[in-house]
Amino acid sequence: MAITLTINGRSVTVPEPMSVIQAAWHAGHAVVHGVGCLEGICGACRALVRRADEAQAVTALACQTVAEDGMQVLFLTLPTHDHHRYRLTDFSDSWEVQAGFHRAFPEAVHCRHCGGCNRACPREIEVEQGVERAAEGRFAEAGENFLECVMCDLCQTACPERIAPNHVGLFARRVTAYFQIRPANLILRLEELRQGRHPLETEEPS
C-alpha cells in the first residue's frame, strides 16, 4: 500500500511501512553510507513532523519516526554553537571542574525550568534535570541523564538561554571519565561481570 507525504515541501509517494528517513531516501535524497545514523546513533536526521490529524508540529528523529499518509516533514539544519570552549587538560584536578564548567557554560545557571528541552528531546531524556545537576557540580549524575543522548541538538532549539544542554551532558560525561568518576551503571555491570552473572563470550583463536 502506498502513502503520500510532504518532505521539505515536496510531495512524495512511497510504499509502507517505512521510516521518514527511508521515505526521504526513496524520494531521491542521497544515502550516505558509513555514518552513525545508519546504525541508529547519529541524531542528524532531526525534523519537524506534523501528522495529518494533528494541528501541532513536533520535533522528531526521522530514523525512528514511521512515515504516515498526509504527514508533513521538514528536515532541520541548525546553527552550530561555538561559544562553549574548554580543554580537559586545563583542569589539574577535579576540584577545578565546577569552576571550569561555569566558565564554559555560564548560561547554565539561568535555566528557566520551562521544560522545553525535555519536550523537544526525541530520546525522552530528563534534559533539564541533567543541566541542573551539572550546574550543581554533580557531573557523574548529570552524565547519567545524558547516556541516551544522540547529539541531535533539538534541545538547543527549545532553550531561550542558549544553554546547549546536550553539550552540557557531553562535558559531564567527559569529566567523569577523565577523572575516573565512574558512572554507577558501569560500576554495577563490572561487578556483575566479576561475579560471573554475565559471562563474556569470546571467539576461539583460529
Sheet of strand 72-75: strand arrangement: 10-15, 2-7, 72-75, 46-50, 58-61
| pLDDT score, position 93 | 81
Give the largest CA-CA distance in the chain.
Answer: 61
- Contacts of residue 120, defined as CB under 8 A and 6 or more positions apart, other chains included, come to 59, 127, 154, 155, 157, 158
The owner of cell 510532504 is: 6
* CATH 1.20.1070.10 for the 88-186 domain, yes or no: no
33: Cα within 13 Å, side-chain hemisphere? 0
pTM given for the model: 0.70
The owner of cell 547516556 is: 147
Q: Residues 161, 107: contact at Cβ < 8 Å?
A: yes
Cell numbers given for 182: 565512574
What does the angle CA 164 – CA 142 – CA 127 come to, to the nearest 5 degrees? 45
Give pLDDT tens digits for 151-167: 888 998 888 888 999 99
Give pLDDT tens digits for 2-14: 999 999 999 999 9
Q: CATH code for 2-75?
A: 3.10.20.30
Report the 10 Å Cβ neighbour count for 98.
Answer: 17
The domain limits of the chain are: 2-75, 88-186
